Amino acid sequence: MMSAQKVIEEYLNDLGIGSYRRLAKIVYKQQQGYIVGLTQDDCLQAVLDVMANREMQHAMLVAIELDSIAQEAANHDGGVARQANPLIRLLVKDDSNFGVDERIAMSVAGLYGSIATSNFGYLDKVKPGVIGEINDMGKNGARVTTMIDDMLCAVVACAEADLAGGGL
């Protein structure tokens, strides 16, 4: 039986993220002007700490499963499921009225306080770096990424909040 962490890492690798360093790079770019002496290794450690959080792992697993179910349904039946199942349709389309992806990500960000919550909103809007790449996969129809792109925003936002709160 694979651990939650292993499932998450394999899924992110499959998406092309490769390592948490790409998320840490976003953290570094966002926080370097606010934290004296901040290094990319500090940012990577903050991302790893966030990813070790049980609630974050559980939310990531939900996001992965929902995106995967929607992707599988879209792949196997030529899109029939998208018409028959409203949830699949919302996930495949990344419908702007479907706010569950943001709500799950914001609930996890809320565990890290107001800095994480406000940073999540910013990250969700601008989708920097690898987050934008993952979001674009969903927008161009290459892959269902409705849930996971918001969860990546939450990971970065939580790591930023951890560092801002003295996580160094």
DSSP sequence for 126-150: H--HHHHHHHHHHHTTSS--TTHHH
- Alpha-carbon distance of 110 to 102, in angstroms, equals 12
pLDDT on residue 82: 52
In tens digits, what is the pLDDT along the chain, a chain of 168 residues? 889 999 999 999 999 998 899 999 999 999 999 999 999 999 999 999 999 999 999 999 999 999 999 999 888 765 555 556 889 989 998 988 999 999 999 999 999 999 999 999 999 999 999 999 999 999 998 999 999 999 999 999 999 999 998 754
Average pLDDT, the chain: 92
How do residues 41-50 score in pLDDT, each as one tens digit?
999 999 999 9
Cβ pair 124, 145 in contact under 8 A: no
pLDDT tens digit sequence for 63-100 = 999 999 999 988 876 555 555 688 998 999 898 899 99
Nearest to 111 by CA among 64, 149, 54, 41: 54
**What pLDDT is recorded for position 165?**
87
Identify the pLDDT of residue 168.
Answer: 41
User: Which residues in 9-18 are b (16+ Cβ under 10 Å) and which e?
Assistant: bebbeebebe
Q: Which residue has the tokens 């939310």?
A: 59
Residue that the structure tokens 């939650």 belong to: 4
Other beta carbons within 10 angstroms of residue 54's beta carbon come to 8
CA 27 to CA 44: how far, in whole Å?
A: 8
Dihedral angle sign, alpha carbons of residues 110, 58, 159, 140: negative
Q: What is the rounded end-to-end Cα distance, in angstroms, of the chain?
A: 34
What is the predicted pLDDT for the residue at 80?
52
